[in-house]
Amino acid sequence: MFSYLRERFTSHLRERGRRRARLVSKDGRCNIEFGNVEQSRFVFLIDIWTTILDLRWRYKMTIFISAFLGSWFLFGLLWYVVAYIHKDLPEFNPSINHTPCVENINGLTSAFLFSLETQVTIGYGFRCVTEQCATAIFLLIFQSILGVIINSFMCGAILAKISRSKNRAKTITFSKNAVISKRGGKLCLLIRVANLRKSLLIGSHIYGKLLKSTITPEGETIILDQVNIEFVVDAGNENLFFISPLTIYHIIDKNSPFFHMAAETLLQQDFELVVFLDGTVEATSATCQVRTSYIPEEVLWGYRFAPIVSKTKEGKYRVDFQNFSKTVAVETPHCAFCLYNEKEAKAKEKKGYDNPGFVLSEVNETTDTKM
């Protein structure tokens, strides 16, 4: 038992040691940190709307609750000050004919309750403003307008947070691994992507970026150098009919950064393949972007994806997501260079080359020799 746990712990540490830092996580979040930013954080308050939308829910709800409670308590203090200045409070022993600015404010608690009732327009009818004080009337108008602004901003921020196209992107999923195998006689890198909703993404476009460290001829080291990776499906890489899972592929030709890689050296490479899918949400017409990434350990050489779409006897098409990331081993050349050399060699075998300048001359051989 202890030996088994020790082996599991050792393998976990070994696997953890092999993990590579990645810029984009599998769920699309970017792993990047900004340091020594010269601009003041005040610039984030200027664009307060975007700042509020980017906040996490716990911070957003804290601001939401604090804004309401703070405004209720602040105006409660102002109503108490108005009652105190006008001597409407019980400690001043007002006369029977005294008309208060606000009826039935007896202290700070009742002033807070009146502020709450005013801002949220409850209107119980027990406490109300009289025409005795112009200050109270002005304060009532000001609180009502400010309360509408706070309600509109906070409710709009929550609604915008819920309806962001970023949430729609969570129903787009990529395969756990990428595979490399032959497709159409060419060596290709294949990835599977699926839309988990029946509503389509309009004008979908898919592409990739290969991130790696490179050294320029001038000796400059570029971290996260980006190389374009073109992905296509049989119908092209734009305006995808994204109603069923698609298998996108990148042709590994002489212009591909994967051309000089081989099955034996793939795990020794240091790169990160980031795949992007852009589209417009059909229901809201908002644009969204889905992204994921693959590191060398997540690229399987010599595999293809298992079939996922079938047709039932009733004539319906069925998608089995159990096979979505399932792979099957297939015979694959161990490098793209070898595949193209093999094709060129076979093509030359089928061709004959004639030399028009070649002339066959007959030579008569004699057996007699003279001394």
Q: pLDDT digits over 196-255, tens only?
A: 887 778 878 889 999 988 888 887 888 888 889 998 886 555 567 777 788 889 999 888
Are both 42-163 and 167-348 of the same fold? no
pLDDT at 14: 47
Element (H, E) at 46: helix 42-46
* 117 neighbors 127 (Cβ within 8 angstroms): yes
pLDDT tens-place string over residues 74-110: 999 999 999 999 998 988 888 888 889 998 898 999 9
Residue 170: pLDDT band (50, 70, 90) is: confident
Buried b (16+ CB within 10 A) or exposed e, 136-153: beebbeebeeebeebeee
Instruction: Say which residue, 342 or 311, is predicted with more confidence.
Output: 311
Architecture of domain 42-163: Orthogonal Bundle (1.10)
For residue 335, the SS3 value is strand
Q: Which of 110-124, 334-348, 355-369 has the lowest mean pLDDT?
A: 355-369
Task: Indicate the pLDDT class of residue 73, thresholds 50, 70 and 90.
Answer: very high
What's domain 167-348's superfamily in CATH? Answer: G protein-activated inward rectifier potassium channel 1 (2.60.40.1400)
pLDDT > 70: percent of the chain: 83
Name the token pair of 41: 């954080």
Do residues 293 and 28 touch, judged by C-beta distance below 8 A? no
Higher-confidence position of 34 and 262: 262
Residue ranges per domain, the chain?
42-163, 167-348
Mean pLDDT value of segment 301-326: 86
In this predicted model, which residue has the larger pLDDT, 179 or 199? 179
Percent of the chain with pLDDT over 90: 27
The answer to whether residue 342 scores a pLDDT higher than 70 is no
Is the model's pLDDT at 370 over the cut of 60? no
- Both tokens of 178, joined, read 């990428």
pLDDT band at 146, cuts 50/70/90? very high
Residue 126: phi, psi to the nearest 5?
A: -90, -40
Q: How confident is the model at residue 355 (pLDDT cuts 50, 70, 90)?
A: low
| Amino acid 114: pLDDT | 93
> Which tops the pLDDT comparison, 155 or 3?
155
